[in-house]
Amino acid sequence: MPEHIIVIGDGIAGLAMTLALAQHGHKLTLISDARGLPDRHMGGMQLAPNSWAALRQLSCEDEVKAHAKPLEVMRLIALATGHTLIHLPLDAAHHRQPYASVTRRGILVAMMEKVKTLANVSLITAKVTAVSSDMVNKKACLTLDDGKTIGGDWVFGADGITGICRRYIQGGQDIKPVRSVRQAYRIAVPLSDVPEVVASASTSVWLGREGHIVHYPLCDDHLNLVVTTSSVTGGEKQAKQLLDQHPWLGGCGILLDDVLVTPLTEWPRCDSWLRGRVVVTGDSAHQMPPHLAQGAGQALADAASLSQLISSGKNGAPLQDILPVWAGQRMRQIRSVLDAASAAGRVFSPPPALAMMRDAAVGFGGMAVLPRILDRIWSDQSLSR
Ligand SMILES: Cc1cc2nc3c(=O)[nH]c(=O)nc-3n(C[C@H](O)[C@H](O)[C@H](O)COP(=O)(O)OP(=O)(O)OC[C@H]3O[C@@H](n4cnc5c(N)ncnc54)[C@H](O)[C@@H]3O)c2cc1C
């Protein structure tokens, strides 16, 4: 029986959930607060095999692939010595395909274009100011910034960690950050401004004493560069120092003026994804440190796994029966990804005093565990293929 579902947020999580639920004939209303896509280059992200499997389930793989650049190898390198610590072929023989970078603008545009082709989805531009559940009538209700109210059978909150849905799920309490430990400086540099060696189809992670640098090429001839500092104070100076130590990027005069600075904040984990008729997904449910490049990938997996669970249900089981099962499964799966991403952050960018110990441990083979963790996450627990 088709239900009316309202999705708040047109980021990757909201678009993915809209595609997933529309596949099953539900009536969808997607609400976007019209922040739209900025004029500046939005940089890129990496999508691992589990993300592509999710996009396949959402029938959006080919559309996103048009904005992708396949990456052939992942390297971890000691910034101080230039020593390669890990060389991970991203090839079919190791079941690590597809692995590709995508432009952020490209994936959002591709998914939105797909959503717009669906007759059972309508789009509303508004900011949502409140959500609630009516348990007697089994309805969800939300208020828009123009004062109008809309009702539906369910509200899916894909409005980010500080959004109103996460607050609602947690009983109306504001979500307070646990702490900000690191800072990320993101910039897209034209490939013509950097040496050819950094433009190769690889993703490189350079481990320094005051943080780490990640870079990989994008399909639109830019290098996506993320410099993560191991503290939030003195971040920009540290970021410049890290870049100066890079053997090829140091001399390029890359300016940190036009960068997107993101404090990497630790948030309390969400111990329930469902309250009444309101459900959370994506960063709203499981904002995670970016060190294993899994935030968006897990948002896609939320949607794809729900779609798969609905498909496997007999006699069109109502969402009321399916959602608690889905939320329970996803919360268990996400826990280990969150743990691994947090641990990677501590290893990639430890406090400076611990960085020497990290390098020594790495020298004795202490990083061998990383490929095993990545292979486990990439082989995906949530989707049967
Ligand atoms: C430095 C860095 C690097 C990263 N690299 C990767 C990577 O390589 N691979 C990867 O998979 N992930 C990566 N991530 C994570 C990824 O970017 C996020 O997990 C993902 O974009 C989150 O998507 P989302 O849709 O949940 O949230 P968002 O993108 O934050 O979308 C939330 C949406 O909700 C809307 N909204 C909010 N409030 C309201 C409201 N009241 N009313 C209406 N609309 C509202 C907003 O306008 C927005 O459109 C990285 C993150 C960082 C910080």
Q: What is the Cα–Cα distance from 7 to 60, expressed in whole angstroms?
A: 18
pLDDT at 175: 87
CA–centroid distance, residue 136 to ligand 1 (Å): 33
Average pLDDT over residues 68-78: 96
Encode pLDDT of 151-185 as tens digits: 999 999 999 999 999 999 999 988 888 887 889 99
Structure tokens at 90: 């991203």
For residue 293, what is the DSSP state? S
Closest atom of ligand 1 to 296 CA is 11
Instruction: Kindly report the three-state secondary structure assignment for every residue of 70-112.
Output: ECCEEEEEECCCCCEEEEEECCHHHCCCCCEEEEHHHHHHHHH
pLDDT at 363: 65
Q: What is the Cα–Cα distance from 32 to 69, expressed in whole angstroms?
A: 28
CA–centroid distance, residue 103 to ligand 1 (Å): 14
For residue 316, what is the DSSP state? -
89 lies in some domain:
yes
Q: Tell me the CA distances in angstroms from 213 to 190, 309, 364, one per residue in order.
A: 17, 38, 22
Does residue 49 register a pLDDT over 60? yes
Mean predicted lDDT score pLDDT of the chain: 92
Q: Do 341 and 56 touch, CB atoms closer than 8 A?
A: no
Average pLDDT over residues 133-149: 94
Structure tokens at 368: 């061998």
Q: What is the Cα–Cα distance from 222 to 195, expressed in whole angstroms?
A: 12
pLDDT at 381: 55
Does residue 346 register a pLDDT over 80? yes
Average pLDDT over residues 10-24: 98
Does residue 48 register a pLDDT over 80? yes
CATH number for position 146: 3.50.50.60
pLDDT at 200: 95
Q: Whose CA is nearest to atom 15 of ligand 1?
A: 295
* Residue 33 burial by Cβ neighbours in a 10 Å radius (0-12, 13-18, 19+): middle
385 lies in some domain:
no
Residues 6 or more apart whose Cβ sits within 8 Å of residue 136: none
CA–centroid distance, residue 16 to ligand 1 (Å): 12
Structure tokens at 51: 């993300």
Query: Within 13 A of 216's CA, how many CA atoms are on the CB side?
Result: 28
* Other beta carbons within 10 Å of 235: 22
Does residue 189 register a pLDDT over 60? yes
235 lies in some domain:
no
Residues 6 or more apart whose Cβ sits within 8 Å of residue 353: none
pLDDT at 384: 54
pLDDT at 383: 64
pLDDT at 315: 60
367 lies in some domain:
yes
| Residues spanned by the domain of 97 | 4-177+266-378
* Other beta carbons within 10 Å of 268: 14
CA–centroid distance, residue 241 to ligand 1 (Å): 29
213 lies in some domain:
no
Instruction: Using most ligand atoms within 8 A of CB, pick from 45, 109, 187 the residue to mutate for ligand 1.
Output: 45
215 lies in some domain:
no
Q: pLDDT band at residue 34, thresholds of 50, 70 and 90?
A: confident
Judged by DSSP in three states, 283 sits in: helix
Is beta strand 179-190 parallel, antiparallel or unpaired with respect to 222-229? antiparallel
pLDDT at 145: 95
CA–centroid distance, residue 198 to ligand 1 (Å): 27
Average pLDDT over residues 33-39: 82
pTM (predicted TM-score): 0.96
Q: Whose CA is nearest to atom 19 of ligand 1?
A: 295
Residues 6 or more apart whose Cβ sits within 8 Å of residue 144: 31, 124, 126, 127, 128, 129, 150
Residues framing ligand 1 (Cβ under 6 A): 8-14, 31-33, 35, 45-46, 127-128, 158-160, 163-164, 184, 186, 226, 262, 282-283, 290, 293-297, 299
137 lies in some domain:
yes
Does residue 136 register a pLDDT over 60? yes
Closest Cα partner for 72 from 41, 43, 93? 93
Closest atom of ligand 1 to 159 CA is 34
CA–centroid distance, residue 161 to ligand 1 (Å): 9
Average pLDDT over residues 9-31: 98
For residue 314, what is the DSSP state? T
328 lies in some domain:
yes
What value, to the nearest 5°, has the Cα angle with vertex 295 and ends 291 and 299? 165
CA–centroid distance, residue 80 to ligand 1 (Å): 33
Q: Do 1 and 316 touch, CB atoms closer than 8 A?
A: yes
Number of domains in the chain: 1
